[in-house]
Amino acid sequence: MLQHANNLNTLIVGNSHCMSGINPFFLTNNAFNFANSSQDLERDYFILTKYEDIYAELKQVILSFSYCTLQDKMDYTDKPRLKYYGIYIGYEKYKYSMEITSNITYEKVREYLRDGSLQCSPLGFRVNIPSKDDLNISGIKAAKRHTLNNQESLTDNLKFLNKIIQFCENRQIKLILVTTPTWHTYYEHLDEHQLNQIYSIATEITEDHKNVFYLDFLKDVRFNDKDFSDGDHLSEEGAEKFTKILKDSLDHTFKIKL
């Protein structure tokens, strides 16, 4: 990130749906993917502000706007990963964490021995590890896992979403909210109220803020089984396909060039 921040045009943040769904290699302008597994809006905001003094050319921020975005909070759903924000990028809440104390260290050592230390492309893109379940089963499991009802998380996430909007607005940066494609067993098992909440808030903020745009690909029929690594994550092939579709959609719909 430090190598790219100075001449970065497009920054991608959010959860694993964008991490494994948008490959900066296929975008024309300088782009970097800083999305990560389970990354929530509080951590997205931290990343944006962490490097604000060295953004010279930043024009767009792409943010995951998934079914679980407004309900998911790392403090409750994936707390072990928070240590890495303290260890590697100075996140104050976990500034003095040690990697050896994390209960996912064993998993990381195994990944290192299998794949080496760098598990993403030089531009931050990383494909999610394929599920052991088939697409139909993994889609149902993910839908159930992402169906949450936490008012405290919702309130907190809306606060950080507004901070992200203001950060971009104050710097004349376009904020692009994206719901990535999913397999049909995922979207068929979503809670209607939670899903409508995402759409309602997307409509509200795009109407209230001229710098915010939203694109929904949740049920996009252009994607087949080869395009997914599991029920809610794109494969490397699917990410290439989606990145090109996203690029064209933003150009044709909003005249935004990536």
Q: What does the pLDDT look like over 184-236, one tens digit per residue?
A: 999 999 999 999 999 999 999 999 999 999 999 999 999 999 999 999 999 99
pTM across the whole model? 0.88
Residue ranges of the chain with per-residue pLDDT less than 50: 96-97, 100, 109
Taking residue 121's Cβ as centre, other Cβ atoms within 10 Å add up to 14
Q: For position 97, what pLDDT does the model report?
A: 46
What CA–CA distance (Å, rounded) separates 172 from 129?
Answer: 36
State in words which class domain 5-79+127-254 has: alpha beta
Tokens of 105: 């260290």
Got the DSSP string for 39-64? --HHHHHHHHHHTGGG-SS--EEEEE
* Beta strands at 212-216 and 228-230: parallel, antiparallel or unpaired: unpaired
- The pLDDT value given to residue 1: 66
CA distances from 113 to 36, 99, 109, 110, 116 (A): 21, 16, 6, 5, 6
Q: Helices 41-50 and 82-89 meet at what angle, rounded to 10?
A: 10
Q: Please calculate the CA angle 222-142-219 and round it to the nearest 5 degrees.
A: 20
Token digits of residue 109: 């050592």
